[in-house]
Amino acid sequence: MGFSRGLQRILCVAALFAISCGDESTTSVPTPDNNTSDMSPDSGVDSGELCPDACNDGDACTQDECVEGACVHTYDAAACCTDDQCEIDGACVDNGAPNPENSCEVCLVVSDDAAWTPKADAGGCDDGNACTSNDTCVDGVCVGQSFQCDDGNPCTDDTCDGAGGCMFANNTADCSDGDACTDGDTCVEGACVPGPGLSCDDSNPCTADSCDPALGCTFVPDDGATCTDNSVCTEASVCLAGECVVQEVVSCDDNNLCTIDFCDAVDGCDHEDISDRCTDTNPCTDEACDPALGCVFPFNTDPCDDNNLCTTVDTCTNGACIGSPVNPDDGNPCTDDTCDPAVGVIHVNNTLACDDNNACTVGDTCADGGCQPGTQPLSCDDNNLCTSDSCDPATGCLNEDISDTCEDNNPCTVNFCDPDTGCGFTVVQSFTCRPIINITYPPRGATILGPIGNGITVTGTVDSGAGDITTFQINGQDVTPNQNGSFSLTLVPDAGANTLEFSASDELGTEEYRVQAFHYSSAFTNPTTSGQGNVNPGLGIYLAQDSIDDKQSPPPTDLAAIFKGVLDGFDLSSFFDSDTPIASNSGYDIYLTSLDFAGSTVTLDAIDGGLRVRASLNQIEGGLYFDCTAFGCLLAGGDSNGGLDIDSIVITANLIITVNPDNTLAVSVNNPATSVNGLDIYSNNIWTNFLLGIIEPFIRGGLVSDLETELNTQLSTVLGPLLEDGLGALAFNQVFSLPRLDGNPPPIDIALESDFSFSDFQDASPGPQGGAFGLRAWATSTTRGTPNADPFNANLGVPMRVGCGAGQQMVIPKAAPLEIVFADDTINQILRAAWWGGLLQFPVDPALLGNVDLAQYGVTNLNMDVSGYLPPVATDCVNGELRLYIGDLRIDATLDLFGQPVNAEVYVAFDAPITLAANPNSGDIEIIIQAIENVKLEVNVTNEPALGVESALASLLETQLVPALGGLLGNGTPLASFPLPEIDLSASLGQPPGTSLIRIVPINDAGLPSSRQSGNTVIYGRLQ
């Protein structure tokens, strides 16, 4: 408040300078705050009666007055309180001055300059109450402590008189005089007056009664004192522990269980009859009382009620009410009959199964208290299709035999009735009662020549004595025979082996299956004489540069070794006649007496069209004889000897390799050149040595010219043919033996022959550098092993691989040091030669079947003869894999099957994977046939009584005998093998045959291309 007032003053002083704090007569505008009750002069109220109090604004710094009914507050600086004063209720109070109305409050400017502040200390004060003392200020209020006016006398009422003194007034209250033997003490004139004495008699003869002023009444037990309970029923009573204890009791027992005995204290013993209390509420007992036994209840046989409506004729029996059970059965199976003891017999309708007395209904059910027939008739089906089932209401089901209705009057059936399947039949096993498929074209073992892509028409007939043919298929294609049973179907055959499968079934379900094969192509080869019917090209040979010249020596593992061997064997002396002078000059005839060299080096490089040869004869030494023919030389010493040294003679030429019209190799020498390097001639005669400067050019001219001429002649006449022979040795011209499948001698001799068809040499640009040869190839058997009859005589030969991709083209990968390529057509020539030699013509000894235990299949006396109507054919045209196909393999068999003699004619077709590969150990080329697959079997039992075992025989053949026969073809072991070609250098080196050989070693490198290349098998190798 002080701060705010000082601020107000500062602002006012500032305002005085600006506006002189208002006009000279400042008037406050009346507001609701400063005059809420003023009334205007026109209000009719005397304003002089309202203003004096109503205009006080509580501000000591203003003069408050009422002017014409409005409060006017004029500031008066002289009337304002100072800074060390409190302005309280419009009055100025000095700092620290007490409140005249409350000595516990003071003016404390620093705390509140507009209100009284409670005194901070607890100084003395007076609360104006005479009944308090030690008055003290607490929170601005004077508080005193009340004092007591107790005089310690219960017979006075103590109070404060309010003037500082106590007052004690007598009362008549109850009090205690301190004596427990008085009762009803009362205050009289300020003192406690005793009441009358206490009565301590407890009316107990067994206690001694007295009164103790401190304790009051006491009752001490008088044990042993005699006493009486005033009862005639007791005798000899004595006090014990303050109680009168009875020593003896009078006996009132009358020995009668039908009375209650008691004693009355005044009248003595008495006996009350209780016979009427013998009740047990059981109607089946009589109630009585026996003085000796008490209550007794003997059984009776009175009629009674057991309160059970489910019994009748209730009678007391052995103390119980027992009735006979009521029979609730009303004789109706469609009611549930029960009895409720409280209600009696109850009949409730049910829905149980019942019998309506009709044997032909089932599922009879109770409804509305009656038996209703079932909704389903009785099923009289005895699950026997050979009976006619019906129902008689009185007797029930009837099942009549109807087997005789199964007769179909078909002579090819035996009719029967099976309870489970009904009418059935078995087909009579006969040649008549089965489908017969007769093929008129193509015949078995046919070889058909025709354009690739053209169709052939398969014709024949199919019928059955058992009924109509219902289904007929050729190679899975449905065919509908004509009315007379004839049929035809045009098929487009594959080039090579083809199989026809025929299946027929008649209306009796009898089936017939036939399989036969034929070969088809637009060209066949039939090599019967040497060179005819060849496959061109049927073989391919490739020599990479490393096989021509590996630039290493020794050993001789390339063609360059052939040249080196020949050159090393040259006798240079034979090039000259020692009796003929090589020069005549300066009185001398000069003779070459010897000419030798230390060794040779040869390099061969493939070039377009052939080979580039560079041969060097090294470190040549020769002997010279100088024959003096003039007088002058005689003077100089006459005849003399000498010699010559040549560092090397180098011969270069192009060897062009071509094929002659007769299919032999031709090597021609082009651009030969010879150079003599480092020639030195000397003599042991001084004069001759002197003359050498004159005659040496003549010696050199004659010698070098003769050497060049002779060496060029050697290239053409010796080395050229030698190369022809060396390369020609790579051709296959050999006879190898193939064991017969039955193991009997003699083996089948097969001649595999070839000659040259083309030559293709290339240099390193664009490469690969090397030479390739294409060869005509053919294979024949030296002896015939097939029957001299058709279809063998009509066989056209090997079906050529045409119409399969690009057809049979020679593909040489040129990726290995040496490659030998066999065309599939060549492989088939080998297979046909083996067939022609009798590979598939042999009797089957059961021992050939290996581990097949014929006895466990019921087979005894087995004899089989095998005859292959068609040669095996290998082709990859079907699914890309080279596979061997054999069809129309006929087996004639006789055997006993479970004691039944069986004669059978069987035709088999199957295929198997086949490979041509070189054995890395032996180096031989092997033809390997794997396990046979996709066996197709036609079995024809030819003796009618054995037709019933035809299917069992077919299963035995398919699962056991045919796979065993197929195993004879190799089953993963080589069927045939023949050696790889080799180059024999022995003759060229002047050695016995077979001394120096260059062999072909097979290699198997994962980085090489596939061994199968578009109808060709490639064998990779190197020279060794």
101-105, 111-115, 756-760, range with greatest mean pLDDT: 756-760
pLDDT at 2: 42
Q: Look at 683 and 865; give whichever has higher pLDDT.
A: 865
For residue 302, give the DSSP letter: -
Q: What are φ and ψ of residue 919, in 5° steps?
A: -75, 120
pLDDT at 15: 34
pLDDT at 265: 82
Cross-sheet strand order for the sheet of 583-585: 583-585, 588-607, 610-628, 640-659, 665-683
d(CA 612, CA 652): 7
pLDDT at 96: 83
pTM over 0.85: no
* Sequence letter at residue 677: N
d(CA 812, CA 542): 7
d(CA 541, CA 102): 147
Place 553 in a pLDDT band, splitting at 50, 70 and 90.
Answer: low
Place 555 in a pLDDT band, splitting at 50, 70 and 90.
Answer: low
773-799 as b/e: b if 16+ CB within 10 A? bbbbbbbbbeeebbeeeebbeebebbb
Q: For the segment 662-677, what is each residue's pLDDT rounded down to a tens digit?
A: 999 999 999 888 888 8
pLDDT at 16: 32
**What is the average pLDDT across 87-110?**
87
Place 534 in a pLDDT band, splitting at 50, 70 and 90.
Answer: very high
pLDDT at 779 over 80: yes
d(CA 326, CA 314): 11
For the chain, give the percent of residues with pLDDT over 70: 92
The contacts of residue 6 (CB under 8 Å, 6+ apart) are: 83
**What is the average pLDDT across 96-103?**
86
pLDDT at 443 over 90: yes
Q: Locate tokens 């009662």: which residue?
A: 433
The alpha carbon torsion through 191, 192, 196, 199 (nearest 10 deg) reads -160
pLDDT at 989: 61
d(CA 898, CA 817): 62
pLDDT at 210 over 50: yes
**What is the average pLDDT across 308-323?**
93
**Domains of the chain and any CATH numbers:** 82-146 (no CATH), 327-401 (no CATH), 403-433 (no CATH), 437-521 (2.60.40.10), 549-729 (3.15.10)
pLDDT at 20: 35
Q: Is the dihedral of CA 366, 371, 377, 378 positive or negative?
A: positive
d(CA 898, CA 896): 6
For residue 35, give the DSSP letter: -
Q: What are φ and ψ of residue 553, in 5° steps?
A: -160, 140
302-341 as b/e: b if 16+ CB within 10 A? eebebebebbeebbbeeeebbbeeeebeeebebbeeebee
d(CA 377, CA 394): 14
* Range scoring the smallest mean pLDDT among 52-61, 296-305, 817-826, 853-862: 52-61
674-690 as b/e: b if 16+ CB within 10 A? bebeebebebebebbee
Token digits for 496? 């090579």
DSSP string, 589-643: EEEEEEEEEEEEEEEEEEETTEEEEEEEEEEEEEEEEEEE-SHHHHHTTS-EEEE
CB contact at 8 A, 911 and 885:
yes
**What is the average pLDDT across 505-522?**
95
The contacts of residue 857 (CB under 8 Å, 6+ apart) are: 897, 956, 960
Query: What is the number of other CB atoms lying within 10 angstroms of the CB of residue 830?
Result: 28
pLDDT at 372 over 60: yes
pLDDT at 409: 86
pLDDT at 610: 94
d(CA 107, CA 97): 6
Q: For the segment 212-228, what is each residue's pLDDT rounded down to a tens digit?
A: 888 889 888 988 888 88
CB contact at 8 A, 299 and 318:
yes
Residue 658's closest CA among 614, 611, 605, 613?
A: 611
* Sequence letter at residue 769: Q
pLDDT at 758: 95
Half-sphere exposure of 934 (CA within 13 A, CB side): 14
Token digits for 965? 């026969």
Q: For the segment 374-411, what is each residue's pLDDT rounded down to a tens digit?
A: 888 888 999 999 999 999 988 889 999 998 889 888 88
Token digits for 758? 């083309």
* Range scoring the smallest mean pLDDT among 322-336, 805-819, 870-884: 805-819
Q: Locate tokens 């009346």: which residue?
A: 30
CB contact at 8 A, 106 and 113:
no
pLDDT at 34: 41
* Sequence letter at residue 201: D
pLDDT at 51: 62
pLDDT at 46 over 60: no
155-191 as b/e: b if 16+ CB within 10 A? bbeeebeeeeeeeeeeeeeebeeebebbeebebeeee
Place 160 in a pLDDT band, splitting at 50, 70 and 90.
Answer: confident
* Range scoring the smallest mean pLDDT among 25-39, 454-468, 922-936: 25-39
Q: Which residues pair with 823 in a beta bridge?
A: 1016
Q: Look at 474 and 530; give whichever has higher pLDDT.
A: 474
The contacts of residue 974 (CB under 8 Å, 6+ apart) are: 919, 926, 927, 928
**What is the average pLDDT across 704-727?**
78
Q: For the segment 591-638, what is each residue's pLDDT rounded down to a tens digit?
A: 888 888 898 888 999 999 999 999 898 998 988 888 888 877 777 678
- What is the pLDDT of the chain when averaged over all its residues? 85
For residue 717, give the DSSP letter: I
Q: For the segment 950-990, what is each residue's pLDDT rounded down to a tens digit?
A: 888 888 888 888 888 888 888 888 888 888 887 776 766 66
